[in-house]
Amino acid sequence: MPTKISHNSRAVVTGAGSGIGRAFAIELARRGGQVICADINRERAQETADRIRAGGKGSAFPVVVDVSRTSDLQRLADYAKEVFTEPVSLMINNAGVGIGGKPVGQIGVDDWQWALGINLWGMVHGSELFLPELQKAGRPAGLINVASAAAFSAAPGMAAYNVGKAGVLALSETVAAEVRGTPVKVTVLCPTFVKTNVGTDGRITDEAGKIVDVAMKWIGYSPERVARMTLDANDKGRLYVVPQVDAKAIWALKRHFPRSYGAGAGILNRIVPQHDPIGSTAKVGA
């Protein structure tokens, strides 16, 4: 039987200090992998590594990385070569931050640059620097990018987030076409709500944060469930992972009934609050 990408992998996970990233790292270790747990927060990265070591399977290597910095991703790539001695076989670009609650014209250039630096450029850096390594892995290899249903839903008050995630979707589709027929498989994850700290760690207005909290409580999937689904999909060479029913409905509506989708988005724009002051500063790894 051919080797599965997620089994006994030499993996790098960004944003591994919490949420989906931590779930990816722990699940990969459970499947026998060596995992570099990269996060901007040293304590969170270390905690993930400690949990992996306590589980008794796989191995973990915590490292501090700011994915918005090209130099940090180059340092991460160099570190992976030292740790694994063989090329990385699985790269998971997961680090991301939440931002929302203000319409275009009130977001501010600084917040645009902050959000896109992490949510989009972080994925570009990871893909550009690690894809050559994946192609040299000598075994089935994978690139997983964590986007969001925001990539195709374009909810009002979330422009900076939507644009970044739409870019991740486009990046993933492009790379998938470019590596077709090779041992490298690309998967892009597009969930709606996952039970993580993205709502509390992001630059999200108070009102928008309340909406996110309620949605996570009632329809959010656990990070562990989403991580398992995504790894299994990458093993099978599936490009898209749209886990929840609500995400699937939005995906289908926009693709097949664009006029109805547009009308619904207009209604949503009139009912979603958008004018509260910005809250806390985010930490990468949501």
Type of residue found at 142: G
Both tokens assigned to 207: 């009102």
**Catalytic member of 79, 161, 240, 261:** 161
Respond yes or no: is residue 221 known to be catalytic.
Answer: no
What is the rounded distance in angstroms from the CA atom of residue 156 to the CA atom of residue 266? 8
What are the residue numbers of the active site? 161
